Chain A
């Protein structure tokens, strides 16, 4: 009983591996670091700045500017140092692809 169940599980995992063709959205996991303060998928209503639908340049440039000014009294400046340029572009790209839903800033 147990071995047949394990076999079925193995089969279903193998089947799903073949059926699945959609790779995870690049940038999504990195961007999810921002969701805690900017809302899930950056749909920030009642949050800090809304990121969904901003352009890659808007988000990327703002973060790079923060690093250049290096005002250590700003929480986002400290945070901006946590990501490489490539990572910043990837997470900015994810937010740029998100539709803006509802109102908000």
Chain B
């Protein structure tokens, strides 16, 4: 347990590094950017890398290509949004525990500190033979030449029947990409009356952030207990069982939030009625004052457009030594858009980016990738508005299967959700975001 004074010192040091602190309350704490620009190494390497997507994986890759590769590596980051909104901790926006604005991160450090070129626009296609990416920008269509292209576009959704229209998708928010959808769901939850119901659905795996939906059920349940007497949470899971931290969430559903959360496995959606906020599933129909449908996660259309969405559900099959697509030389896919044995989540997306950066820099120097990469996934999940749990796994390359395999003994979850873990969750978040964006 960190002493309060020490914690404050640590926080102010981080604030000095220009990192936004997601503290309670509505105002993000930003301090002047006092950190010196790091000396980029002289490596003799040169190359042009274009990255599509400024989420956790794409931002980390941009930073580490420059930090490790030096100024001879030209890095262009193509992103539609002006800033990144973190999915991590966004369930706590639903309960007013953190403000959405405090989960937003600018690309300023990547530009100013590391010399990454930002291009605001939407990538629409690429020619793997001439190695050119096509981007629609506010100034018109552009093509950019690359030596290596990295796609980090995250996930897209396959909506169920009934959620075809924009209006229906706003009436029944997924809130699985943090931003306006998170605010929509927050407002719906607040409109639940005493004795009312929050109904949510969990898509079949693989989906982004395996513990995330169960965490959402927990924090909403805790908020309802405190603010809406006798209200209930109904969790409709397309999977046959809890997909992450099973011991933790079985205890949370069965003990901590007993009588509030009803867990229904094997509930596949057949249709949604946005007008009545009803979801029809293989386990029956459920209606709530708030209905949160997290649709099936699929690979974004860009993967298909470029011809690299060659794994199940349109995700990209990659060689996990360098994250190069199995379908196109010179094109890499990292983060949630790739199909690997690793979870789709921000912490491990950050590490996939480092493996990719290292391999790419070796390739620019005529070297083979590291033959034994290791990655890790770690995350803290709030179980109540005051306590959290954790989950971690380390993955090592297995030459036989050519996949990342969990290392024996290096997978585990917290024995209990505690207040200390809740504090550690904020430390983890701030540091992870600083490692990716700062």
Give min CB distance, A89 to chain B, whole Å: 14
Interface assignment of B358: CB less than 8 Å from any CB of chain A: yes
A87 touches B374 (CB 8 A): yes
A47 touches B427 (CB 8 A): yes
Closest to A30 in B: B374
Interface assignment of B240: CB less than 8 Å from any CB of chain A: no
Interface flags, B392-432, vs A, CB<8A=1, else 0: 10101000000000011111101110000000100110111
A90→B362 CA distance, assembly (Å): 18
Closest to A25 in B: B68
- The verdict on A24 contacting B362 (CB below 8 Å), with A29-B370, A33-B351, A47-B431 known, is yes
B43 touches A22 (CB 8 A): yes
List B contacts of A13 (CB < 8 A): 47, 147, 364
B13 touches A46 (CB 8 A): yes
A28→B357 CA distance, assembly (Å): 12
A-B contact count (CB 8 A): 163
A13→B366 CA distance, assembly (Å): 8
B13 touches A78 (CB 8 A): no
A68→B72 CA distance, assembly (Å): 45
- The verdict on A45 contacting B435 (CB below 8 Å), with A13-B47, A105-B10 known, is no
Interface flags, A35-52, vs B, CB<8A=1, else 0: 111111000111110000
List A contacts of B9 (CB < 8 A): 103-104
List B contacts of A102 (CB < 8 A): 13
Closest to A76 in B: B392
Residues B27-47 near A (CB distance < 8 A):
41-47
B44 touches A46 (CB 8 A): no
List A contacts of B119 (CB < 8 A): none
A81 touches B410 (CB 8 A): yes
- Number of residues in B with C-beta < 8 Å to the partner? 66
B44 touches A36 (CB 8 A): no
A39→B394 CA distance, assembly (Å): 18
- The verdict on A21 contacting B434 (CB below 8 Å), with A33-B376, A78-B392 known, is no
A22→B410 CA distance, assembly (Å): 33
Dominant SS at the A interface?
Answer: helix
Residues A62-83 near B (CB distance < 8 A):
72-73, 75, 78-83
Give min CB distance, B2 to chain A, whole Å: 9
Interface assignment of B365: CB less than 8 Å from any CB of chain A: yes
A78 touches B366 (CB 8 A): no
For this complex, 27 residue pairs linking A to B, each with C-beta atoms less than 8 Å apart, are: A9-B147, A16-B45, A16-B47, A16-B365, A18-B366, A19-B45, A28-B358, A29-B355, A30-B374, A32-B64, A32-B354, A33-B375, A36-B347, A37-B432, A39-B431, A44-B431, A47-B14, A47-B430, A73-B415, A75-B392, A81-B407, A81-B408, A81-B409, A82-B394, A82-B407, A82-B410, A83-B394
Binding site for B on A (CB under 8 A): 2, 5-6, 9, 12-13, 15-24, 28-30, 32-33, 35-40, 44-48, 72-73, 75, 78-83, 87, 102-105
Binding site for A on B (CB under 8 A): 6, 9-15, 17, 19, 41-47, 64, 67-68, 72, 129-131, 145, 147, 347, 350-351, 354-355, 358, 361-362, 364-367, 370, 373-376, 378, 390, 392, 394, 396, 407-412, 414-416, 424, 427-428, 430-432, 434-435, 438
